[in-house]
A and B are shown apart, each in its own frame.
Chain A
Amino acid sequence: MIPNPPPVLPDATFVLVLVLLALAPLAIAGVAIINTGLGRSRSAAQSLLGSLAIVAVTAIVFALVGSAFAGTTGGTSHVFHLAGKPWNWLGAGPIFLTGLRSAPAQSQPQSQLALLFEFLAVALAALIPWGSGADRLRLTAGCAVAAILAAFVFPLLAHWVWAGGWLSQLGFNFSLGSGFLDPAGAATIHVLGGLSALAVVWITGPRKGKFPQGGFATAMPGHNAVYILFGSFVALAGWLAFNLAGAILWLHAPLTALPVTAINTLLSASGALAATFTVTRFRFGKPDASLCANGWLAGLVSSSAAAAVVSPLQALIVGIVAGVLTPLLIEVLELAVAIDDPSGAITVHAAGGLWGLIAAGVFAPQSGQLPGQLLAQLVGIAALLGLILPLLYLLFWLLNRLIPFRVDPDGERIGMDLHELGGGAYPEFVIHRDDSYR
């Protein structure tokens, strides 16, 4: 089967998507600031420099090889046939974006915008494990993880979901609704990033002193609540841009549908914040600032899948569920499962994204047989958990043999700023001794 070519965008829509994609880096900036605030003061400069380096590495690697594997809708791709159905599993575009400059813009306007969307999406996805490895993941290892994601894993998933791959064709080939729905990257960005975070945390191990023998987990709160909360505001602007641009590019939504998508994004985040605020208020006696920020972010993450396909009331429900789950799951992962995830990325991005994908299947307008859309979403989730997570763990495990992820104990003791950069983020402040290192 030859995938349908993308529809030609009117000039005004082309410009609108371009402007939206110019605002989308605010989501990257927001996540980077939140990650920095949730880490320790002695690793703050390394955290932000690492974020910048990861954006640069992903851009270069994705341009070199990743974009070829991601491919474009209607472009060349690798297809095998099973049970009489085509399974389009990998793009086969030109490496290093060959021909992009010489191609007339009129012939492939949507493909160029889609490419720009993917450049930004892979940068955001690669930032997520960087936050989880805070305070012990080396800069070179963070960049290497980003390179692996940008070179192969993200392009694979992006092709399946956005470029006419087998997940997007589930509706056409197997009568499963409209195929796998992921207009703004709940799967390709957030679940991928969250599962990468899980693999990185498993391989790197917890921060020293986090889980002392015979005792409860040591609380290691973020060093700057202002960064965390301000980053949440910044992220909202970026998420609005991603959700609106994704709705136009991947769902071919008309311009008149965009205000509702934007409202749904805001409602989902607001519902999540209200729910997390309430849960932490009852759980701890006072609302917890960093958990509330994580709840807000989880609402945004779940909106990435659902905002363009649900009603405002449903978006609110999606956000409330994400907001209730977030603080509870963060607590379970830390206290019961002994996973040290300083940024809460596994919960916020992986669990929030998975919930958003399920919600899109439940609430999206159904076409074809009744559980079709939900089944399409579940098949996509099965691919993420059953194929992508083991693949990520294997790749990172091998990478850890070449480039050790974890900093040496002395580096962890003095902080990543002094160890890796030779200077702190706050040189005029006295950094207090940490009791957990006694």
Chain B
Amino acid sequence: MKLAGLLVMPAGFFLAIAALVLFPGSNAAARASFVLCGLAVEGLGLAVAVRGHMEARGESRP
């Protein structure tokens, strides 16, 4: 689960980069939305990774 979360995070990065490539500077709202969506995807990936860590920790407690 932790690995799955970490694998999702690069997708968010590429979404942020896509915002720069796809939208010209004049379309600032769309560009900002895409970058924020990218960060949201990264946040979701991090949340999944953290959740995976918590579950693994709970199973291995002495």
Contact = CB atoms under 8 A, between A and B. Distances in A.
Contact of A175 (B7, B21, B25, B46): B25
B9 A375 contact: no
A387 B10 contact: yes
Nearest to B35: A378
A213 B62 contact: yes
A392 to B, nearest CB: 10
Contacts of B45: 386
Given A337-B54, A381-B39, A386 B20 contact: no
A174 B9 CA distance: 23
A386 B57 contact: no
Nearest to A386: B13
A381 B39 CA distance: 8
Interface string B21-45: 1000100100110011011001001
Given A339-B53, A378-B39, A382-B39, A212 B25 contact: no
A393 B6 contact: yes
A211 B35 contact: no
Interface in A354-382: 368-372, 375, 378-379, 381-382
Interface string A370-404: 11100100110111011101100110000000000
Interface string A344-362: 0000000000000000000
Contacts of A372: 28
Nearest to A174: B20
Interface residues of A, number: 37
A85 B24 CA distance: 12
A300 to B, nearest CB: 25
B46 A385 contact: yes
Interface string B50-62: 1001100110111
Contacts of A385: 9, 12-13, 39, 42, 46
Contacts, number: 89
A386 B54 contact: no
B55 to A, nearest CB: 10
A194 interface: no
Contacts of A214: 61
A378 B16 contact: yes
B13 to A, nearest CB: 3
Contact of A211 (B14, B31, B32, B61): B61
A206 B12 contact: no
A178 B30 CA distance: 20
Interface in A201-228: 202, 205-206, 208-209, 211-214
B49 to A, nearest CB: 8
A82 interface: yes
A234 interface: no
Nearest to A338: B57
Interface of B: 2, 6-7, 9-14, 16-17, 19-21, 25, 28, 31-32, 35-36, 38-39, 42, 45-46, 50, 53-54, 57-58, 60-62
Interface of A: 82-83, 85, 170, 174-176, 202, 205-206, 208-209, 211-214, 337-339, 368-372, 375, 378-379, 381-383, 385-387, 389-390, 393-394
6 contacts: A174-B20, A176-B20, A378-B39, A379-B20, A386-B12, A389-B46
Closest CB pairs A-B (n = 7): A386-B13, A382-B16, A175-B25, A213-B61, A83-B21, A338-B57, A390-B6
Given A337-B50, A338-B53, A372-B28, 6 more contacts: A174-B20, A174-B25, A338-B57, A370-B28, A386-B38, A393-B6
